[in-house]
């Protein structure tokens, strides 16, 4: 004859089984949420993106200001002259999928080595291990723009 405690023991899982089940459910929910957010974004127009990668620095900055004004405040121009350089955007945390999608559409790409989103502004170069800040000047356009 089984007692109440024996019945309860057979129905209960040990602690590690409970945790692994909870973690799996949480991970599945997060994956589903990520897919939903990603699927709701409009697709990137790759022809327009390719065209945007050839735009000069002032045009890229103007598009960034009009499209993502909060991101414009993070933009840095690195290059020889203020009107011709690369535009870099560095975030403290991973930006939302919508912001990443808009940056990609504007022609930016992720540079894993420098941990920054960068736009070539029509100046395509082979990758370098050197930091361009050592060779070129840089500035933040939001700092020079009148309020």
Identify whether 4 is part of a domain.
Answer: no
pLDDT 10s digits, 22-40: 555 555 655 555 555 556 7
Using 50, 70 and 90 to split pLDDT, how confident is the model at 67? Answer: very high
Determine the Cα–Cα distance for residues 72 and 143; give it in Å rounded to an integer. 10
Q: Which domain holds residue 74?
A: 46-144
Tokens of 98: 């919508």
Predicted TM-score of the model (pTM): 0.67
Domain tally for the chain? 2
- Give the helix/strand (H/E) hosting 30: helix 15-40
Identify whether 2 is part of a domain.
Answer: no
Q: Are residues 80 and 126 in the same domain?
A: yes
């Amino acid at each position: 004859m089984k007692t109440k405690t024996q019945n309860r023991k057979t129905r209960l899982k040990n602690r590690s089984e409970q945790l692994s089940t909870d973690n799996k459910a949480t991970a599945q929910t997060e994956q589903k949420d990520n897919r939903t957010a990603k699927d709701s974004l409009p697709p990137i127009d790759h022809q327009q993106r390719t065209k945007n990668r050839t735009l000069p620095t002032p045009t890229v900055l103007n598009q960034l200001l009009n499209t993502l004004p909060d991101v414009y405040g993070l933009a840095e121009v690195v290059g020889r002259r203020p009107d011709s350089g690369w535009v870099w955007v560095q975030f403290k945390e991973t930006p939302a999928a919508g912001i990443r999608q808009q940056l990609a559409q504007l022609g930016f790409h992720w540079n894993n080595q420098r941990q920054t989103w960068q736009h070539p502004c029509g100046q395509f170069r082979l990758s370098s291990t050197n930091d361009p800040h050592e060779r070129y000047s840089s500035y933040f356009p939001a700092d020079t723009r009148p309020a």
